[in-house]
């Protein structure tokens, strides 16, 4: 769980650095929506949702590994064998 806190702290620091280092734009310099019809704010919102989903999935995977380490180790071992066999056929 300490990893979670340090990862969130690191993300917060990076966000602050980007805000400070990023060039200030005027409204004339603002990016225009492209042909997809999505505005930059919508793209940022979608990226935020993706980050939330990936964080949640990572947390669930970490919880599963902590609660069942032997099952996680066996799964990783079997997945490694499967990937090795698939790549070895080429």
Joined together, the tokens standing for residue 13 give 């620091």
Q: Please report, for residues 1, 9, 56, 57, 58, the alpha-carbon distance to residue 53 in angstroms, rounded to integers and kept in the order given.
A: 18, 18, 5, 6, 9
Is residue 12 pLDDT above 90, yes or no?
A: no
The pLDDT of residue 82: 95
The pLDDT of residue 47: 92
19-75 pLDDT per residue, tens: 777 666 555 565 565 556 657 788 889 999 999 999 999 999 999 999 999 999 999
Is residue 6 pLDDT above 80, yes or no?
A: no
Confidence band of 76 (pLDDT split at 50, 70, 90): very high
């Amino acid at each position: 769980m300490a990893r979670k806190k340090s990862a969130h702290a690191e993300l917060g620091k990076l966000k602050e650095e980007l805000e400070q280092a990023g060039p200030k734009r005027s409204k004339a310099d603002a990016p225009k929506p492209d042909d997809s019809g999505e505005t930059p704010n919508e793209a940022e919102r979608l990226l935020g949702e993706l980050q939330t989903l990936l964080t949640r999935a990572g947390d669930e995977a970490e919880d599963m590994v902590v609660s069942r380490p032997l099952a996680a180790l066996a799964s990783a071992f079997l997945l490694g064998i499967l990937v090795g066999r698939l790549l070895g056929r080429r």
